[in-house]
Each structure stands twice: as C-alpha cells, then as structure tokens.
Amino acid sequence: MNLRWNGSQRRFESEFSSDFQGDLAAVKEAGFKPDTSTGVWIWHSSKAGPLTKLREKRPASGLTIASDAKAIYASLSEMESKNDKIKAEAKEYSKSIKKKRVVEEQIKHALVIPEKGYISAEDLSPQPPQENRYVPPPPPDTKCVICAAPVYFYELQTPFMMCLWCEKITLDKSDEL
C-alpha cells in the first residue's frame, strides 16, 4: 500500500497494492474514510491519527509513504499531539472548576444551625403574604326565572332561563306527577 498527499483536497490518500482485501481491511481499521464522489472509491484521511494507526498495524503487503506526504504527516502529527495534550489539560481544568462550583454551591446553601441547637420560627425570615391574582369573570346578566340566580351558558336556556338547581328541582317534581 502506498500513501500520498493530495494537495488540492488537503488529505492523505491510499493506493492499494495487489492484496486488495488486506489493504482495505487495514485502512478501514485505521479510520480512513471512503470518497465515492468521483465514481472511484478513494480511501482518505485528513488527520494524522489514522496514519499513525496504519503505521502501527501495517498491512501484509507493506506500507510506503511519499516524501511530501511524510513531511506533512510529521508536522500534522506533532500538531495533533500538542492539541491532544492541551485538550486533556482543558478537560482536567474544567473538572476542577466544576468541583469548585459544586463545593461553593453547597457552602452557599448550607444550613446554619444557631447556638441554641435547633431552628424555630424566629430564626426563619418572614415570607410575604400570598396574593391570589385570579379574578373571576363577572356573572352573566341573564337571571333564573325562579330564584334570580345568574344563568350561565351551559344551563337551560329554553323555554325558560333556569339555573341547574331549579332545573333539577323542576324535573324531580315532574317525575313525581
């Protein structure tokens, strides 16, 4: 297998040898991606990590790399190793900051028990009185013909305006007759 640098696409591309299946398995395992936009399968990688994996686990057919690709791989590999180190440090830093925040929150919300050993009503801050913001709508203007209570839209409207209570009483009396 041969690796070369494609400057126009800014990626490393693999050229398979006569052992196609072995080379294909090696590039897949290393993390190369296929590009089929040109009609031909080209296995490529724009990162140095897959090349490092391929270098560690070489295919049976052997591995060669072009000189320009080797120079770019060396600089890219160095940059990626520095980035990995910085990412690890940033992860550790964010963990420590998160731990500090948790401790600060616990201290901030910690319960302070007075010297007497218990908490009573005078130790608590007074709460403002609750407000009921709901204002019921005004009753309708229509009134029941029997008791003069307001008649709502869901109550009997015809033939006479009646509230539910008077309607029930009227129906019960008609059943007795």
**How many CB atoms sit inside 10 A of residue 85's CB?**
10
Q: What are the domain boundaries of the chain?
A: 2-78, 140-177
pLDDT single digits (tens) 75-87: 999 999 999 999 9
- For the chain, the C-alpha Rg in angstroms (whole number) is 41
**Residue for token digits 């019921």?**
136
Tokens of 126: 């007074």
Q: What gap in Å lies between CA 154 and CA 163, rounded to an integer?
A: 9
Binned average pLDDT, 10 residues per bin, the chain of 177 residues: 90 89 90 85 90 88 90 92 95 96 89 86 85 91 92 85 88 70
pLDDT single digits (tens) 137-175: 999 999 999 999 999 988 878 788 899 999 888 887 776
Q: What gap in Å lies between CA 147 and CA 14, rounded to an integer?
A: 95
Strand arrangement of the beta sheet that strand 33-35 belongs to:
33-35, 42-45, 11-15, 2-6, 64-65
Q: Which residues contact 150 (CB under 8 A, 6 or more apart)?
A: 139, 140, 141, 142, 143, 144, 163
